[in-house]
Structure 1
């Protein structure tokens, strides 16, 4: 009458009695099945708690109208949504900065996390080779969180166990193209975790006019432009040396003149002295009155001026020995900043071997011994090759403007800088778009930062020379 079922299956489903009555008994849930259900429920609850913790505003805005609709009807839900929208709009109009920080960027991060990054995460990881396929299973790096601000998305990623950072720096083009960004930068936040930065637009696309001359005298860090995240670019000049490298028309003069402009009140106060070497007679000569007798253009005069600076350094070192280990600018011992517009013309292209050796020896002495006694060097050049500038590693802080070749990026900023996103060879050669844009790598941080220096025009330079010419002599 009934089809016979084998073993336990028959006992669980049907049993016949002597009176031919049929009794159905529920299937027995085994221990492994119970554990699976518990694990699934735990993961679901953990995911919900994590979502609420990371995106409280987005979750509340999404869930609250549905709860009100279910409990009190759609009319009240629509009213609450309308009032909430008006309140948010008023908040955004009255205090845009606070609204963006507490609500706007979080909502944007929640939306882009779902629609852009989680949606494409698996295929991009697999295609780029950052994920691994073993024994029929995909092992993917974990997308931990996403933070948004006014110009970029920053993704925190947990790498696979045993995965090196180089795997990611070698694939920045894959990541940028995959997620629809112009570039990608990789930074190690802590062991096993990376931060990937994807710019949404370029906040440095518009040239920055010359910044106002400071009201107070300072030796730095001096404000000379803007960083990519919108914060002011403050360059340290006292207690360091700065190397600026860039192709013709890249905007090296923007860094030189913005630094000079920011130091003018300190020059007037006698706390700073500017010594200028201008072998090409094309850049620093516009403001020659600012340097007075501490200006040289002829190679022989440049060598003499450098020898004089070395003499000042040695006398200070003798006085400071056993007394102090660092320099504090005073009128008696001001900070001396040596500006060299085209250093390669003096160290590599100079035909007089004797002058070339004198200049190279003086620069080497200044960059190895000068900063402790208050003497800094800011040198600019076009060709960063070692045979052109063999002391480039003696400059703690480096700036790379537009460069002609990708290999030159690491020559200037150090090994691995381009892999971390310092694409100086991709900066636009059009002056309005790329002049003054650079990547800065400081002694205190291995990660390059994209910046733009303010443009100081010829008119600005002549006005500076008229107002401050002859000061501090």
Structure 2
């Protein structure tokens, strides 16, 4: 039954004894041809039934002309087949949004499924390490569904048993390049299933003009830009604290001024007060009439202004104790938004240790106790390291604009944010392409959202200041 083989054939076989010098080949049993034919026919039939079950509409579209041609001739089949096309073409030309919503994106999703994802699924999974090749058989994550939006492909995947989300988030570069996308983001759809987002183009590539000033007075959320999916970016300012981090020229001023612009009607109505700390004396000085006597530029004045905000917060806390737990903006108790531009200059780079301690203590007090009584902090900085900003974890909502290093992304947005697709270190340094573009991680969601803030020009700021002065 066994025979010894030459040594140059040993690498094709598996030894059955501990002695590697002796290699055996088990007996080969010839399979009858009828068995092979039956197995092939069964697999072909099962595949056809599975295809009809999963894609009944597509199968009906293909089968209907064939049945008509067989029953009534090819002319009738041609006429019936061209009627839907003659109706769809005008629809696509004159009402593209509704056509895409009902048909266009579905057709594109089918094409991307067949030509891109299913075609390259096996090699990408194996090479990236997300699939396994065991004893001659490939075990691959299951491609569940592909859907398309105006800017991205949404791919639903069933993970292999025993896989974790980090196994996928650590390989977003492999997935993006394997399927020909610029980037990839991973989010959890449900237990065992992931949603992979592959952008087809960048809808935030062009700068945005300043958002029109709202007609009604409101404390938010205020619209300050656009999300990547085309929906308005509304930033919550009342009842939270916001930290904005970004390199020089990343667009921190766009977020600050767009926020103030959205709150302008409430400022004019007396429901909001904006307190400005401008140690650089550049960004917030354009709108100085908006702040009145609540503007500070020198470190000493900034410390005094912050301590005054702490005094307002503590006075409200004494009055609200035992009566109310949430703040409702009124003329008597307006919402106070403390805007700090380049907070690191006041907390880390300040040479006067006394002022540094006063400012750090005031900011820590506001960020820990101010939310419930209607005092919020909007702080911007360039360097997000812990030794520069040691209270960054006290800000529930964080925004990461263009950053210099990949490690800084997790410093701002939290651990794992970059692995989930927040590639803030890849944002273009060209102002027209990357200024105002960033990623937001809200307190209520671990998944980062790509956004772009609208650009508020100097003329817009002066017009806003003129309205408040008038």
* Kept in 2: contact 1:186–1:195 (CA 8 A): yes
Q: Which has the larger radius of gyration?
A: 1
Q: CA deviation at 1:64?
A: 3.5
Aligned partner of 1:203 in structure 2 is 203
Q: Confirm or deny that 1:111 pairs with 2:115.
A: no
CA distance in 2, matches of 1:333, 1:65: 72
CA offsets, 1:258-285, max 9 Å, x none? 0000000011111111000000011011
Aligned partner of 2:283 in structure 1 is 283
Secondary structure of the residue aligned to 2:79 is: helix
Aligned partner of 1:169 in structure 2 is 169
* Kept in 2: contact 1:151–1:200 (CA 8 A): yes
CA distance in 1, matches of 2:62, 2:279: 65
Q: What runs of 5+ residues in structure 1 fail to find an aligned partner?
A: 1-26
Aligned partner of 1:371 in structure 2 is 371
Q: CA deviation at 1:71?
A: 3.1
Q: Confirm or deny that 1:334 pairs with 2:345.
A: no
Q: Confirm or deny that 1:45 pairs with 2:49.
A: yes
Q: CA deviation at 1:331?
A: 1.1
TM-score, structure 1 normalization:
0.89
CA offsets, 1:67-100, max 9 Å, x none? 4333333222322232211211222244322211
CA offsets, 1:299-333, max 9 Å, x none? 10000000000011011111111111111111111
CA offsets, 1:345-397, max 9 Å, x none? 00000100010000000000110110111111000000000000000000000
Q: What runs of 5+ residues in structure 2 fail to find an aligned partner?
A: 1-31
CA distance in 2, matches of 1:42, 1:364: 66
Question: Using a 3 Å threshold, how does the CA distance of structure 1 residues 108 and 341 change in structure 2: closer, same or farther?
Answer: same
Q: Confirm or deny that 1:179 pairs with 2:179.
A: yes
Q: CA deviation at 1:253?
A: 0.4
Aligned partner of 1:65 in structure 2 is 65
Aligned partner of 1:469 in structure 2 is 469
Name the stretch that deviates more: 313-322 or 60-69.
Answer: 60-69
* Kept in 2: contact 1:422–1:448 (CA 8 A): yes
* Kept in 1: contact 2:344–2:388 (CA 8 A): yes
CA offsets, 1:16-38, max 9 Å, x none? xxxxxxxxxxx9x99x9999977
CA distance in 1, matches of 2:197, 2:279: 41
**Counterparts of 1:89-104 in structure 2 under 5 Å?**
89-104=89-104
**Counterparts of 1:404-423 in structure 2 under 5 Å?**
404-423=404-423
CA distance in 2, matches of 1:327, 1:66: 69
* Kept in 1: contact 2:144–2:158 (CA 8 A): yes
Secondary structure of the residue aligned to 2:403 is: coil
CA distance in 1, matches of 2:205, 2:368: 37
CA distance in 1, matches of 2:283, 2:290: 13
CA offsets, 1:159-189, max 9 Å, x none? 0000111111111111100110000000111
Question: Using a 3 Å threshold, how does the CA distance of structure 1 residues 362 and 59 change in structure 2: closer, same or farther?
Answer: farther
CA distance in 2, matches of 1:194, 1:110: 19
* Kept in 1: contact 2:158–2:193 (CA 8 A): yes
Secondary structure of the residue aligned to 1:371 is: coil
Q: CA deviation at 1:47?
A: 3.7
Q: CA deviation at 1:436?
A: 0.4
* Kept in 1: contact 2:52–2:59 (CA 8 A): no
CA distance in 1, matches of 2:352, 2:64: 80
Query: CA RMSD for the aligned pairs?
Result: 1.9
Question: Using a 3 Å threshold, how does the CA distance of structure 1 residues 61 and 330 change in structure 2: closer, same or farther?
Answer: farther
Question: Using a 3 Å threshold, how does the CA distance of structure 1 residues 321 and 62 change in structure 2: closer, same or farther?
Answer: farther
Secondary structure of the residue aligned to 1:201 is: coil
Q: Confirm or deny that 1:324 pairs with 2:324.
A: yes
Q: Confirm or deny that 1:347 pairs with 2:347.
A: yes
Secondary structure of the residue aligned to 1:433 is: helix
* Kept in 2: contact 1:291–1:469 (CA 8 A): no
Q: Confirm or deny that 1:246 pairs with 2:250.
A: no
CA distance in 2, matches of 1:62, 1:151: 29
Question: Using a 3 Å threshold, how does the CA distance of structure 1 residues 64 and 256 change in structure 2: closer, same or farther?
Answer: farther
Q: CA deviation at 1:102?
A: 1.2
Q: CA deviation at 1:412?
A: 0.3
Question: Using a 3 Å threshold, how does the CA distance of structure 1 residues 61 and 289 change in structure 2: closer, same or farther?
Answer: farther
Question: Using a 3 Å threshold, how does the CA distance of structure 1 residues 169 and 252 change in structure 2: closer, same or farther?
Answer: same
CA distance in 2, matches of 1:62, 1:38: 23
Question: Using a 3 Å threshold, how does the CA distance of structure 1 residues 213 and 121 change in structure 2: closer, same or farther?
Answer: same
* Kept in 2: contact 1:242–1:397 (CA 8 A): yes
CA distance in 2, matches of 1:238, 1:372: 9
Aligned partner of 2:9 in structure 1 is none
